[in-house]
A and B are shown apart, each in its own frame.
Chain A
Amino acid sequence: MAEIKWITSLDDGLKQANSKKRLALVDFFNPN
Chain B
Amino acid sequence: MNAVAFPDPAVFDFVNTNLIPVRIPADDPELGPRYKVKWTPTLLILDAEGGEHYRTLGFYPPEELIPSLLMGIGKARFNEPDRPAACDCFEKILSNYPANSLAPEAVYLNGVSRYIETHDVANLIGIYDRMAAEYPDSPWLTRADPYRLLKK
Contact = CB atoms under 8 A, between A and B. Distances in A.
Contacts of B28: 28
> What class of interface size applies to chain A in its complex with B?
20 to 34
Given A8-B24, A20-B20, A23-B45, A28 B35 contact: yes
Interface string B136-150: 000000000000000
Contact of B45 (A9, A24, A28, A29): A24
Interface string B23-44: 1111110011001010011111
Interface residues of B, number: 39
Contacts of A17: 20, 46-48
B20 A28 contact: no
Contacts of A28: 24-26, 28, 31-32, 35, 37, 40-44
Contacts, number: 124
B21 A7 contact: yes
The A contact surface, by secondary structure, is mixed
Contact of B15 (A4, A13, A15): A4
A20 to B, nearest CB: 7
B118 interface: no
Nearest to B26: A28
Nearest to B44: A26
A7 B42 CA distance: 16
B45 A14 contact: no
Given A3-B12, A16-B20, A23 B1 contact: no
B50 A5 contact: no
